[in-house]
A and B are shown apart, each in its own frame.
Chain A
Amino acid sequence: MTRGDRRNLRNGLLFVSPWIIGFAVFNVWPLLNSLYYSFCDYSVLNPPVFIGASHYREMLDDAAFQKSIWNTLIFAAVALPLGMFTALFLALMLHGDFRGRTAFRAIIFVPSLIPLVAMALLMNGLFNGDYGVINWVLESIGLEGPNWLGSPKWMKPALVLMSLYGVGNAVVIYLAGLQDVPKHLYESADIDGANWLQKTIHITLPMISPVIYFNLMISCIFILQTFVQPYVMFDYNGGADRAALFYTMHLINQGFLFLRMGYACAMAWVLFVAIAVLTLAAHRLSSRRVHYGGA
């Protein structure tokens, strides 16, 4: 390395140093601390006391912890594919050339701009089992609506339906991906006599697979951290039968309500490892299924 290279390196590092320092102080240091706290009895208000791996062992006996994992996974298993499919379907529809396309795109996108707390409060009114609009509509067509927010059976379906209001972001990303599919591929398919479905399956989906992969990962991480909607719509305990107790709610309760930040940190690390494993697995799978045009 020449003297000039060294100087450039030094200057480069100096310029990125604010970010490096910020990242180290506000991300790496708390992250490492939280790993240590996960092995401690720590209330936040007092210095931590090392207690070994008992928090991790406790998770095996903690019924609320297990329920929160089950709720989160079930919700993710339904909401994730449903949201992905809905967003993709809407994007394909909105990609077509029709009158009012821009207006429809805006209508689909606008709900995703509403803050989550406001959306949750709005949904509380819509899904109310007594005076909610949804049950009123169902009643008007002769169906008796369920008690969406009071019955343990219907709480998660209500949250899944509610999650569809936020697909606007994913739709916009899909639309951006769809714009990049080369037109000549469709023209070739037209010459071969391919119909809309064949073109979608054999051209559109492979060509936008990186975008699908991106949306899948983002949605997966977002859904595993679901917090605001159930916290606002139900009590901190997840309502009857803890049917809406999500993983992050249990974590927040432990850390801030029950003054058990050590246990909350252990839970956070379990979630971190789970997301990291899922991301790695998806990355491995993606190498065979995701097609990068420029690669």
Chain B
Amino acid sequence: MFPRAKTHRLPLLCAVVGLLVACGHRGEERTEDGRIVLKYWEKWAGFEAEAMQEIIDAYNEQSDEYFVEYIEGGAMMDQKLLIAIAGDTPPDVAGFWSDRMVGYVQNGALEPLDGLMASSGISEDDYLPRVMDTCQFEGFTWGLPLTPATLALFYNRDHFREAGLDPDRPPRTIAELDDFAAQLTIWDGNKITRLGFSPDIPGWWNNLWPIWFGGRMWDGIDTVTVNSPANIEAFEWVQSYEERYTVDQLDVFKAASNNFDSPQWPFFSGRLSMTLQGTWMTNFLEWHGEDIDWGVAPMPAVDESLNPISFLQTDMIIIPRGCPHPEGAWDFIQFTQRQENLERLNIAHQKFSPLAEVSDSFYEEHPNPQIDLFRELADSPGTYIIPPLSAFNEMQAEMWQVFYAVLKNNADPTERLTAAREIMQRQLDRSIVRWERVRDERVEQWRQM
């Protein structure tokens, strides 16, 4: 048994510890020279993180008040950020994907930047219009773009020559793409040794094929339109690849494309002649396909009059709700948005600058000789950006299943899309109900900020 006096101290100790935990909050972290440390969470790792670190180093060198610390969020950074914001312990600044923006905004998790932009002389007109569209919702700006990217068709010019095709004349319609793909494909008995094209590679935008057929996911108001004729035509086209090349053979190439950052990736190893890829592809071509004589062109649409069409997405930088140092956060964001910094970052990431004005040296120094094509695609009226729907990720998951069912299980595209539409409409309705519940209050609140 313990002496009475000592056991009485135990509850007191527990109470003190409990109080400290309950009342505890993060103390303000400062550097040795007294600057406030700003926490910047970003999803980038490797060379992409290094490029951002260079911008941060430049900022830290010139700032007397703040010091930015780059924290690599790694995989599932979105989820970590969600918990941090909900737990009222967010970082000061965070990197973000535009497809998650609306869900976070509708839930009041991001700070609008319009007031800060106005006070700093930054205007939305400073940016490429479609890029800025991806950063806005309900007329407010929720983040500023860092490294936008568009998609295009990369092709192997040597393969074109071997197949008797003109390497300076890439396909301009889907029908031509199919025809070229057939000419570029090499069969060895019932096995394919070289594949012209596969809608399942790289497999990152399998839900988006309808955009090259003029199809859209919704009507822009409240109705899902995935079973429209254009969408059905897109998935019939997907299915035609199974009919032509068999799912078993397509799957062999799909398996080989498991790791993009590898010389075994079929385009780099010379087993695939054409592929849809993004602006960043040239970095990987430098590393894994140095000897490939490649070309790039807009991904052809079903009808030449629809060209050029692409998909535009951007990494953006945001201030989360509950940011401990909003002034510091904005000071850093402003710095990243300087023309020289955005150009430096995008040269390293091999993407294009989101700004409307670009210096001559940007094109001269950019390692991708075709970077202007990707930038032009961002400006094209046909270019698709992620719809401003908080249920987008949920709906997208459903579209992926349509793709698989049509390609691998020979499902009827019309029936499958009609079934998917019902599910997606429910998802959309649910998200609209949730948003309508708080919309007026939120918008009013943002107006006053």
Other-chain residue from A15, A147, A236, A240 in contact with B252 (beta carbon distance below 8 A): A147
Pair B107/A43 contact, Cβ less than 8 Å: yes
- Report the count of interface residues on A (CB-CB < 8 A): 38
Q: Is the CB of B391 within 8 A of A151?
A: no
Residue of A nearest to B2 (CB): A11
Contact of A129 with B408 at beta-carbon distance under 8 Å, contacts A8-B1, A11-B1, A45-B82 already known = no
Stretch at the interface among B39-47, B253-261, B273-281: B253-261
A259 to B389, CA, bound (A): 13
A272 within 8 A of B: no
A14 / chain B contacts, CB cutoff of 8 Å: 7, 10-11
B contact residues around A237 at 8 Å (CB): 397, 400-401
Provide the residues of chain B in CB contact with A21, threshold 8 Å. 14, 18
Q: Mark B1-25, 1 if CB is under 8 A from A, else 0.
A: 1100001001100100010000000
Partner of B79, one of A43, A46, A150, A256: A256
A35-86, CB < 8 A from B: 41, 43-46, 49, 63-64
**Inside 8 A of B248's CB, which chain A residues have their CB?**
147
Which residues of chain B (153-193) have a CB below 8 Å from chain A? none
Which chain B residues lie closer than 8 Å to A240 at the CB level? 404, 408
Q: A21-B18, A45-B108 are in contact. Are A259 and B251 (CB under 8 A)?
A: no
Contact indicator B82/A44 (Cβ below 8 Å): yes
Q: Contact: B107 with A45, CB < 8 Å?
A: yes
A:115-143 near B, CB below 8 Å: 124, 128-132
Interchain CB contact (< 8 A) of B82 among A64, A149, A256: A256
A177 within 8 A of B: no
Q: Is B256 touching A131 in the complex (CB atoms < 8 A)? A: yes
The CA-CA distance from A139 to B393 in the complex, in Å, is: 40
A258 to B426, CA, bound (A): 14
B393 adjacent to A241 (CB under 8 Å): no
Q: Is B217 an interface residue (CB 8 A)?
A: no
Closest to A44 in B: B86
CB <8 Å contact, B393 and A258: yes
In contact, A45 and B405 (Cβ under 8 angstroms): no
CB distance from B111 to the nearest CB of A (A): 13
A259-B107 in contact (CB<8A): yes
A147: B residues at CB distance < 8 A = 248, 251-252, 254-255
Q: How far is the CA of A253 from the CA of B400 in the complex (A)?
A: 15
- Digitize B355-394: 1 where CB-to-A-CB distance is under 8 Å, 0 elsewhere: 0000000000000000000000000000000000011011
The answer to whether A63 and B258 touch across the interface, beta carbons within 8 angstroms, is no
A241/B104 contact (C-beta < 8 A), A14-B10, A130-B256, A147-B251 known? no
Q: Is B109 an interface residue (CB 8 A)?
A: yes
Q: A240-B404, A241-B405, A241-B409 are in contact. Are A130 and B253 (CB under 8 A)?
A: yes
Tell me which of B82, B108, B405, B408 contacts A151 (CB under 8 A). B408
Please indicate the chain A residues that have their CB under 8 angstroms from the CB of B1 in the complex. Answer: 8, 11
Are B423 and A130 in touch, CB under 8 angstroms?
no
Partner of A130, one of B255, B390, B408: B255
Instruction: Collect the chain A residues with CB atoms within 8 Å of residue B76's CB.
Output: 256
Among B52-111, those with CB < 8 Å from A are 76, 78-79, 82-83, 85-86, 103-104, 107-109
Chain A nearest CB, measured from B389 CB (Å): 12
Within the complex, what minimum Cβ distance (angstroms) separates B399 from chain A?
10
Counting CB contacts under 8 A, is B339 at the interface? no
B30 at the A/B interface (Cβ < 8 Å)? no
Q: How far is the CA of A231 from the CA of B229 in the complex (A)?
A: 34
B264 at the interface (CB under 8 A from A): yes
Q: Which of B405-449 contact A (CB under 8 A)?
A: 405, 408-409, 423, 434, 437-438
Which A residues touch B400, using CB under 8 A? 235, 237
**Which one of A11, A124, A253, A258 has the highest number of Cβ atoms from chain B below 10 Å of its Cβ?**
A258
Q: Is the CB of B2 within 8 A of A46?
A: no
- Shortest distance in angstroms between B224's beta carbon and chain A's nearest beta carbon? 16
Q: How far is the CA of A237 from the CA of B207 in the complex (A)?
A: 13
- Are A45 and B401 closer than 8 Å at their CB atoms? no
Residues of A within 8 A of B397 (CB): 64, 236-237, 253
Say how far A254's CB is from chain B's closest CB, in angstroms: 9
Cα A45 to Cα B394 with chains together (Å) = 18
Contact of A33 with B by CB under 8 A: no
Check A11–B438 contact: CB distance below 8 A: no
Residues in B whose Cβ lies below 8 Å from that of A106: none
Contact A130 B252 (CB under 8 A): yes
Least distance between B334 CB and chain A CB atoms (Å): 26
Q: In the complex, what residues of B have CB within 8 A of residue A11's CB?
A: 1-2, 7
Q: How far is A242 from B401 in the complex, measured between Cα atoms in Å?
A: 7
Residue pair A128, B10 in contact (C-beta under 8 Å): no
* A41 to B106 alpha-carbon distance, docked (Å): 14
| CB-based contact B104/A45 at 8 Å | yes
**B residues in contact with A256, CB < 8 Å:** 76, 78-79, 82
Name the residue among A44, A63, A149 with the largest chain B CB count within 10 angstroms: A44
CB contact between B434 and one of A15, A41, A44, A151 (< 8 Å): that residue: A41
B251: A residues at CB distance < 8 A: 129, 147, 150-151
Establish whether residues B437 and A241, one from each chain, have CB atoms under 8 Å apart when the complex forms.
no
Question: Which of A241-277 touch B at CB < 8 Å?
Answer: 241-242, 253, 256-259
Are B258 and A128 within 8 A (Cβ)? yes
From A124, which residue of chain B is reached at the shortest CB distance? B258
Contact of A46 among B10, B108, B264, B405 (CB under 8 A): B108
Closest Cβ of chain A to B1, distance in Å, is 7
- Assess the B391–A258 pair: CB atoms within 8 A: yes
> Is the CB of A200 closer than 8 A to any CB of chain B?
no
B73 → chain A closest CB, angstroms: 14
List residues of chain A with CB within 8 A of the CB of B79.
Answer: 256-257
With beta carbons under 8 angstroms apart, the residue of A43, A150, A258 that contacts B255 is: A150
Q: Which of B85, B255, B408 contacts A45 (CB 8 A)?
A: B85
* Cα-based distance from A218 to B76 in the complex (angstroms): 28
Interface centre among B103, B107, B251, B253 (most CB of A within 10 A): B251
Cross-chain contact B14 with A17 (CB below 8 angstroms): yes
A18 interface residue (CB < 8 Å to B):
yes
Residues of chain B lying within 8 A (CB to CB) of residue A15: 10
The 9 A-B pairs of least Cβ separation, nearest first, read A129-B255, A45-B107, A240-B404, A130-B255, A130-B256, A256-B79, A147-B251, A150-B251, A258-B394
8 other A-B residue contacts (CB within 8 Å) besides A45-B104, A258-B394: A11-B1, A130-B256, A147-B248, A150-B255, A152-B409, A237-B397, A240-B404, A256-B78
- What are 10 sample pairs from A and B whose C-beta atoms fall under 8 A apart? A11-B2, A15-B10, A44-B83, A45-B104, A45-B109, A130-B255, A152-B404, A235-B400, A237-B397, A237-B401
